[in-house]
Amino acid sequence: QLQLQESGPGRVKPSETLSLTCSVSGGSIDSRDYYWDWIRQPPGKGLEWIGSVYYSGNTYYNPSLRSRVSITIETSKNQFSLKLNSVTAADTAVYSCARRRLPAPKRVVVAAGNWFDPWGRGTLVIVSS
């Protein structure tokens, strides 16, 4: 059973860089069928998609964060990472990693794909001096 686990500092100072790693176990990250994503949820607010990385290193980012975010993948370690620079208090959130299923080329259900499963449990990062 595939499992994802986030790790990294629980507190980051304003203007510094938030760095998190997602370790994948129970399966290979080196797959053509999936993207590997980061999602966050600020306290009391909804979920926000941050971005994705493919096994090849190809990435997609939310335009709202694109100027500050970088997601990389290390297939040899079966993990992928998030860096968010110039953080402010608004970046305080629970950060979760997840696997995203790409639409299968010959799928029966046309709208099937781009769902997140599984997710990590998430890690709270507080931006504070």
Partner 1 sequence: DIQMTQSPSSLSASVGDRVTITCRASQHIDSYLNWYQQKPGKAPEFLIYAATSLQSGVPSRFSGSGSGTDFTLTISSLQPEDFATYFCQQSYSMPWTFGQGTKVE
Does position 27 interact with partner 1 (CB under 8 A)? The reply is: no
Does position 42 interact with partner 1 (CB under 8 A)? The reply is: no
Task: Single out the segment in contact with partner 1 by CB under 8 A; choices: 16-24, 47-55, 70-78, 83-91.
Answer: 47-55
Does position 10 interact with partner 1 (CB under 8 A)? The reply is: no
Give the number of other Cβ atoms within 10 Å of residue 4's Cβ: 23
Does position 48 interact with partner 1 (CB under 8 A)? The reply is: yes
Residues that bind partner 1 (CB under 8 A): 4, 45-49, 60, 62-64, 96, 109-122
